[in-house]
Amino acid sequence: MKFSIVKTLTTSFVVATALLTAGTAQAQTLNLKQDNPSLYNTFNSWVNAERLTIPENIVSTIQLDPATLRWAGGADPIEVYFINEAAAYRNILEFTANGGPRQMVFSDVSSPDSIRPEADGPLALGQGVSLGSFTGDTQIDFLLTPTFNGWTSRHTFSTQAEKNPLGLPHFIAKSFFDAATNENWVVIGIEDIDGLKSDRDFNDVVIAVRGIVGTPIHQEKVPEPMTLLGLIGIAALGATKVRRQA
């Protein structure tokens, strides 16, 4: 009898462990760096160099208007993948759908392997999360709130620039169509320091979002192919010009 109780308990334990393992495996399923390293590397190559300011006139010509991001349609859920971060802050990334309640994407955008690493950062490079499925025309906004050692910023930066301090853009966005999988992506770079104190390098949080599209801005001014990496060259040229003029 004792033996059968032990056996039953053991069986329950094995089942519970299997369920836990299945849950963990599912949570670890989304990782772009592991699932599609070349796509991750492409997106990671677009991350702007640290403290390389992107001037306002260039910010306003980056390919997509981040205030117009929306679900691309189709059956697939929207997925957000962490590409990199160069922030001292521990930023909170949230989203809203059609102006609804704020929902969590990543509660702490930091990693032991990022450009400005934190040993206890919870994210792996390329780690992803599903935002779920949507129906009908759905506008997706992202929100970033800086925190540091128990302090939380009074500012939450929005993809809607007019809601930010001084009305400044804190998000830049670029589209990517992956012909191999027929999927739309938007890569987003976020600046986490407000107003005039900011270095405006838009690399404090960089994410790639599968399954959304956005409206191009100033298309006639954008050379093709336009990448954030290309912008580094343009920004560097601008800096050189300024130095020459000085």
Which spans of this chain sit near Ca ion (rule: CB under 5 A)?
87, 110, 116, 191, 199, 201, 204
Measured from the CB of residue 87, what is the shortest distance to Ca ion in angstroms?
5
Identity of the residue, 40 or 202, whose beta carbon is nearer to Ca ion in the bound complex:
202
Q: For residue 61, which of 245, 226, 244 has the smallest C-alpha distance?
A: 226
Identity of the residue, 72 or 204, whose beta carbon is nearer to Ca ion in the bound complex:
204
Measured from the CB of residue 56, what is the shortest distance to Ca ion in angstroms?
14
Strand, coil or helix: what is 45? Answer: helix
Identity of the residue, 35 or 50, whose beta carbon is nearer to Ca ion in the bound complex:
50
- Whether the bond into 225 is cis, omega within 30 of 0: yes
Task: Render 103-153 in DSSP notation, one character per residue.
Answer: EEEES----TTSSS--TT--PPTTBEEEEE---SS-BEEEEEE-EETTEE-
Identity of the residue, 59 or 213, whose beta carbon is nearer to Ca ion in the bound complex:
59
Residue that the structure tokens 């040229």 belong to: 237
Identity of the residue, 110 or 184, whose beta carbon is nearer to Ca ion in the bound complex:
110
Could you tell me where the DSSP H helices lie in the chain? 2-27, 32-35, 37-45, 56-59, 228-245
Is residue 185 within 8 Å of 42, Cβ to Cβ? no
Measured from the CB of residue 158, what is the shortest distance to Ca ion in angstroms?
17
Measured from the CB of residue 31, what is the shortest distance to Ca ion in angstroms?
19
Measured from the CB of residue 128, what is the shortest distance to Ca ion in angstroms?
19
Identity of the residue, 79 or 201, whose beta carbon is nearer to Ca ion in the bound complex:
201
Give residues with Cβ within 8 angstroms of 143, minimum separation 6. 93, 94, 95, 96, 102, 156, 157, 158, 159
Measured from the CB of residue 135, what is the shortest distance to Ca ion in angstroms?
36
**In this structure, what token pair is assigned to residue 156?**
């939450």
